[in-house]
C-alpha cells in the first residue's frame, strides 16, 4: 500500500519517526510530507533514511512531476501525525499553502489525522469546529490521548501512541477497500452481519428531565468498529452517543441508528437482528421507566416536597433476544456492569445474570470508582450461558473489543 505520512510542527513530531518505522516494517511504501515547522523538530535526513524516499515541504521542488497533485492522486492512505491546531485549521479551510495541505486537497483515499496540542487548544471552539468540519467530510480524526504534555501540563491533547495510530489508519484503509499486508487486520468476520448496541438509554420524566446512566458508549462503539475492521457489515444502535463518537463510527464504515429510550433501542435492535449472525448488547439499558410522562415540566412547589414518580419495568431486551433467536444459528452476547455488595461479588452477580439471561456469552465488568463507564480502559470476564468463565480480556476499550471478538469468532459456525 502507498502511504503518505504528513507531519506538522509540534513536539510530538518525534513520534512520527516511530510511526514511519511501524508502517515500513509492515510492508508499506511510505513517503513523508512534513511542514516546514516539522523539519525544525525532526530533520529531513531522518525521514529519508527510514522511508527510502525524498522529503520536501515545498511545492516548488521537483516541479516537473507536479508533486502537489501527483502525490495525493497516487496514495492509498494519508496519515497526518501529529496534526497541530494550525494544520487542522488549514485543512478545514481548504488551504493549499504548502505541499502537505495541497496533497490533502487532491487525495481521494482515506485520510486519518491524529491531533496533538495543549489541552486549551484542543478544547477551543475553533479547533472543535475544525474537527467537526473534517469529520463531516469523511476524515478520520483520532481522539487525542490524555496525559503528560509539554512541560508540566497534563490533560487531553497528547498524541496517541504510534501503534494506535497505525492500527486506526490501516483499518480505515481496509474499510475503504484499500488492500494492505498488515497482519494486524484480520478478516475473520468477513461475510458476517453484526448488530451492536451502545450507550445509555434515557427514560423521560417530563420534557426536560430523564432517568439515565453514566455509559459513554465507547466500549460498544469500539466493538462495532472492531467488527467492521474484521470484515463484518455492522449496524450500531447508538443510545445517546456524543456526535463525535458516532461520526468516528460512520467514518469507519459502521451504519449508525440513533435512539433514545429503551423502547426505541429494543425496536431498532430487533429490526436489525433478523439478518444478523451476532447481536452484542453492550448498551446500558434502563431497567425502569416512569409510568406516565406529563406534557409540561414538573414544577417545584415550595414546601410541598417532591411528588412521587411511579416506575414500571422495561422489557429485558437481552433476555428476549437470547430466547427468540431472530435468525437461525445467531449468537447473542450481553454485558453486565456490576458492583459488588453484601449479597455477592461482581463475578457472583455476573454468574447469576448469565444463567438468567441465556446469552451465549456475557461480558462482566466492574464499574464505579473510576472503572468502566467513562474510563479509557476496561477489564471483562467472559461467561458462558451456564455462568462458567470462558475467558478474560483487558486493556483499552478497543483491545477489550478485539478480545471479545476473538472469543465470538471461535463460537461462530462456518459460513
Annotated catalytic sites, by residue? 213
- Judge whether 361 and 407 are in contact, CB under 8 Å: yes
- Measured CA to CA, the distance from residue 232 to residue 254 in angstroms comes to 9
- Measured CA to CA, the distance from residue 20 to residue 30 in angstroms comes to 7
- Measured CA to CA, the distance from residue 1 to residue 76 in angstroms comes to 6
Among candidate residues 224, 139, 252, the one with its CA nearest the CA of residue 398: 224
- Judge whether 389 and 368 are in contact, CB under 8 Å: no
- The Cα-based distances of 198 to 145, 219, 285, 316 in angstroms read 22, 7, 9, 16
- Judge whether 171 and 31 are in contact, CB under 8 Å: no
- Measured CA to CA, the distance from residue 149 to residue 130 in angstroms comes to 22
Q: Which uninterrupted H or E stretch holds 211?
A: strand 210-211
- Give the cell for residue 312: 414500571
- Judge whether 202 and 213 are in contact, CB under 8 Å: no
Alpha-helix runs per DSSP H in 63-152 = 67-73, 85-92, 99-106, 119-123, 125-136
- Judge whether 228 and 253 are in contact, CB under 8 Å: yes
- Measured CA to CA, the distance from residue 336 to residue 290 in angstroms comes to 23
Burial of 135 (0-12, 13-18, 19+ CB in 10 A): buried
Residue 371 DSSP code: B
Long-range residue pairs from 59-64, CB within 8 A, at least 24 positions apart, any chain: 59/98, 59/99, 59/102
Please enumerate in sequence order all residues whose Cβ is within 8 A of that of 7, keeping only pairs 6 or more positions apart, or say none: 13, 16, 32, 33, 34, 35, 38, 42, 47, 80, 81, 82
Amino acid at each position: 500500500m502507498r502511504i503518505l505520512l504528513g507531519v506538522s510542527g509540534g513536539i510530538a513530531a518525534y513520534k512520527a519517526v516511530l510511526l514511519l518505522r511501524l508502517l515500513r516494517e509492515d510492508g508499506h511504501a511510505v513517503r513523508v510530507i512534513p511542514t516546514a515547522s516539522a523539519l525544525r523538530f525532526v530533520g529531513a535526513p531522518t525521514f529519508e533514511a527510514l522511508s527510502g524516499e525524498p522529503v520536501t515541504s515545498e511545492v516548488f521542488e521537483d516541479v516537473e512531476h507536479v508533486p502537489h497533485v501527483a502525490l495525493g492522486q497516487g496514495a492509498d492512505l494519508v496519515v497526518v501525525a501529529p496534526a497541530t491546531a494550525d494544520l487542522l485549521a488549514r485543512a478545514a479551510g481548504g488551504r493549499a499553502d504548502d505541499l502537505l495541505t495541497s496533497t490533502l486537497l487532491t487525495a481521494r483515499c482515506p485520510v486519518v489525522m491524529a491531533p496533538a496540542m495543549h489541552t486549551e487548544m484542543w478544547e477551543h471552539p475553533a479547533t472543535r469546529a475544525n474537527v467537526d468540519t473534517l469529520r463531516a467530510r469523511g476524515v478520520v480524526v483520532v481522539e487525542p490521548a490524555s496525559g503528560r504534555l509539554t512541560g508540566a501540563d497534563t490533560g487531553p491533547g497528547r498524541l496517541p501512541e504510534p501503534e494506535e495510530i497505525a492500527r486506526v489508519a490501516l483499518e480505515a484503509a481496509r474499510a475503504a477497500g484499500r488492500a494492505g499486508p498488515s497482519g494486524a487486520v484480520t478478516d475473520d468476520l468477513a461475510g458476517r452481519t453484526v448488530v451492536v448496541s451502545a450507550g445509555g438509554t434515557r427514560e423521560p420524566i417530563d420534557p426536560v428531565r430523564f432517568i439515565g446512566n453514566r455509559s459513554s458508549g465507547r466500549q460498544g462503539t469500539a466493538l462495532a468498529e472492531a467488527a467492521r475492521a474484521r470484515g463484518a457489515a455492522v449496524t450500531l444502535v447508538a443510545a445517546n452517543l456524543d456526535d463525535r463518537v458516532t461520526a468516528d463510527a460512520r467514518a469507519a464504515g459502521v451504519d449508525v441508528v440513533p435512539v433514545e429510550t429503551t423502547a426505541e433501542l429494543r425496536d431498532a435492535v430487533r429490526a436489525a437482528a433478523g439478518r444478523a449472525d451476532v447481536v452484542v448488547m453492550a448498551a446500558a439499558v434502563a431497567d425502569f421507566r416512569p409510568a406516565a410522562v406529563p406534557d409540561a415540566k414538573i414544577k417545584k412547589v415550595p414546601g410541598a416536597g417532591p411528588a412521587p414518580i411511579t416506575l414500571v419495568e422495561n422489557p429485558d431486551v437481552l433476555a428476549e433476544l437470547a430466547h427468540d433467536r431472530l435468525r437461525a444459528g445467531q449468537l447473542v452476547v450481553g454485558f453486565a456492569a456490576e458492583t459488588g455488595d453484601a449479597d455477592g461479588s461482581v463475578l457472583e452477580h455476573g454468574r447469576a445474570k448469565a444463567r438468567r439471561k441465556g446469552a451465549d456469552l456475557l461480558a462482566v465488568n466492574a464499574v464505579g470508582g473510576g472503572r468502566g463507564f467513562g474510563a479509557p480502559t476496561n477489564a471483562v470476564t467472559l461467561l458462558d450461558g451456564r455462568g462458567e468463565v470462558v475467558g478474560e480480556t483487558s486493556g483499552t476499550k478497543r483491545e477489550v473489543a478485539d478480545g471479545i471478538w476473538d472469543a465470538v469468532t471461535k463460537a461462530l459456525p462456518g459460513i
